[in-house]
Amino acid sequence: MTPVTITSTERAHALDGEIRLVGAGKSYLTADGRTVRGLAPIDLDIEPGSFVAIIGRSGCGKSTLLRLAAGLERSTSGVVLIDRSTITSPPASVRYVFQNFGDSLLPWKTVLDNVRFGVRHAFAGTRAAGRDAQRELATSALAEVGLTGIGDRYPSELSGGMQQRVAIARALASHPRILLMDEPFSAVDALSRANLQDLVLKLWQEHALTVVFVTHDVEEALYLADRVVVLGADGAGILADITVDLPRPRAQIGTRENPRFLELRRAALDLVLG
Amino acid sequence: MTTIERPAGSDNALQRPPAPGALDDHSSVRRPSLWRRYTRSRALGWTLVLALLAGWQVSSLIEYVPTISSPALILETLVTDLVGADRAGGDLLWALLDTLRTMSIGFVIAVPLGIGLGFLMGRVRVIWALLEPLVEIIRLHPTTAILPILILFLGLGDPMKITAFLITAIFPLLMTAYAGARSVSPTLKETAQTFQLSWWRTQWEIALPSSVPYILVGVRQALGSSLLMAVVVGMLSGNSGIGFYILEAQQSLNIRSLLAGVVTVAAVGYVFNSIFLAAEKRFTRWRKTDMAP
């Protein structure tokens, strides 16, 4: 396999956004006192500015991996480092996009106020952003995800795809270095999903973000990522680390018809279904 | 929720779409007729109320039965007892104001206390562990059963009445605030975590607003029970208030005053409920069920 075509050297200005899992794993204690493996200790280095997809069957620990990286869960073994420092709680440079967008947006706040909520708290310490500046940041983040003129509406008035766009805008507005996405488009219809995938690719490139994208959809993973990490069943750990040497920019039809795409798809599906 | 909200025009959504080929024919999507809208709104129910009143009035004109009086006479008594002979306010007005005064004081204390305690019980495990048994023991006693104890220790004055209203209102508020606080979605909590909200900030900006729909149910229940208690307190303590007015009218066989008192209580209940519904609409605009069509 040829090396990754887009590397961090192209984004030399993006010095941070590095994720390292060193022997990081998670086990749970059940109610009857048994220990259940959520994720076996794994080593994973994610370069700044890269796009990594995590795939695997349900219960393979892919969400656990993402939650460890987000600081939403403490690892029971090893450490998680974001930009070379160990994390114990969610760091400010990391934003998380949840699968169930309906529960992640504040339903009592308008779309604009939801995004402003993110801005307000991200810059809470600095006090740099005044009310007008917050408003401006929120409005431009909404425009970036293709939402204009709906700032006054409530999340419940929007379609699923639009709600997830709002959640992405909220994450983006606080200028994160790392975007962690947990099956963000699994509850969105197929056509909206294609648009959202291209939106994420655009934002990743324009903002030089590090994106870790969890999905159960092998094609989605290959279409988006530089690297696809396949996790083994029942939290067994990393099964394979596939380098996706497909040219960029990717195109919904062209890329998916690329013989190399089909080749990678076969290999990845073999591993997942194995 | 006791009244059934059925916004006017909701039938638009239920209308069949125009048949294929008839798309140019706008007659099939025109506004429903006045009759149709009338027969599907609350106006129909109000017509029934008026019809019943008219029937009662007519029957009393044909043959007057003193024990059931007549709407016109009850209205007359209602007006004179409210306005008073010298327009300085009648017995009924003063009785009503007295009840509303003690009720408001009890309610105003109960709202922050009940919501605060219930919410904290839902959010802080230690507070729940500490208070849950006590709350369960007191909550299951009907306040009317506690009333004699209150009278024994606090006498027949305002302190007893305010305490009775406080106890009546606090439990619905506490229980619903608790339920609301327990209902906060884990995803919302984690969203707050990823934006580094402090514990207090999370309660204030996430948990409390998401409890609002629950708390509003509690406020409504508390209002209803308080009104019930208003009558009972007056009857049991027997010195002032709307309950006492009704009791006195009954004991002196003054049917007209008795019914005037009952009508007043019903009217106050209706006004409370209307104010409450308006407030609820304002506070839960964001909910899908309350969305304008």
User: Could you tell me the pTM of the whole model?
Assistant: 0.80
- Are B217 and B1 spatial neighbours (Cβ–Cβ below 8 Å)? yes
At CB < 8 Å, which residues of chain A contact B?
A: 70, 72, 89-90, 92, 94-96, 98, 100, 103-104, 106-109, 117-118, 121-122, 124, 154-157, 174
Name chain B contacts of A68, Cβ cutoff 8 Å.
none
Tell whether B292 is within 8 A of chain A (Cβ).
Answer: no
Pairing of strands A94-97, A178-182: parallel
- Are B144 and B232 spatial neighbours (Cβ–Cβ below 8 Å)? yes
Q: Which residues of B255-281 are buried (b: 16+ CB within 10 A; e: fewer)?
A: bbbbbbbebbbeebeeeebeeeeeebe
pLDDT, tens digit (0-9, with 9 covering 90-100), for A37-77: 899 999 999 999 999 999 999 889 999 999 999 999 999 99
pLDDT, tens digit (0-9, with 9 covering 90-100), for B24-80: 455 556 778 888 888 888 889 999 999 999 999 999 888 888 878 888 888 888 888
Tell whether B209 is within 8 A of chain A (Cβ).
Answer: yes
Tell whether B191 is within 8 A of chain A (Cβ).
Answer: yes
ipTM over 0.90: no
CB contact under 8 A, B194 and A72: yes
A181: its two tokens: 């996405």
Q: Which residue of A has its CA nearest to B194?
A: A90
Segment holding B292, helix H or strand E = none
Name chain A contacts of B185, Cβ cutoff 8 Å.
103
Question: Which residue of B196, B287, B291 is in closest CB contact with A121?
Answer: B196
Q: Which residues contact B159 (CB under 8 A, 6 or more apart)?
A: none
How far apart (Å, rounded) are the C-alpha atoms in residues A252 and A22?
Answer: 35
Q: If contacts are CB pairs under 8 Å, which of residues 249-288 in chain B contact chain A? A: 284-288
- Are B231 and B263 spatial neighbours (Cβ–Cβ below 8 Å)? no
CB contact under 8 A, A107 and B285: no
pLDDT, tens digit (0-9, with 9 covering 90-100), for A211-253: 999 999 999 999 999 999 999 988 899 999 999 999 989 999 9
Tell whether B235 is within 8 A of chain A (Cβ).
Answer: no
CB contact under 8 A, A90 and B193: yes
User: Helix/strand/coil (H, E, C) string of B183-224?
Assistant: CCCHHHHHHHHHCCCCHHHHHHHHHHHHHHHHHHHHHHHHHH
Name chain B contacts of A107, Cβ cutoff 8 Å.
210, 286-287
**Residue B17's pLDDT is what?**
45
Q: Which residue of A has its CA nearest to B288?
A: A156
Q: How confident is the model at residue B255 (pLDDT cuts 50, 70, 90)?
A: confident
**Residue A101's pLDDT is what?**
85
CB contact under 8 A, B194 and A108: no
Average pLDDT for residues A109-115, to the nearest whole number? Answer: 94
Lowest pLDDT segment from A17-31, A60-74, A161-175, B66-80: B66-80
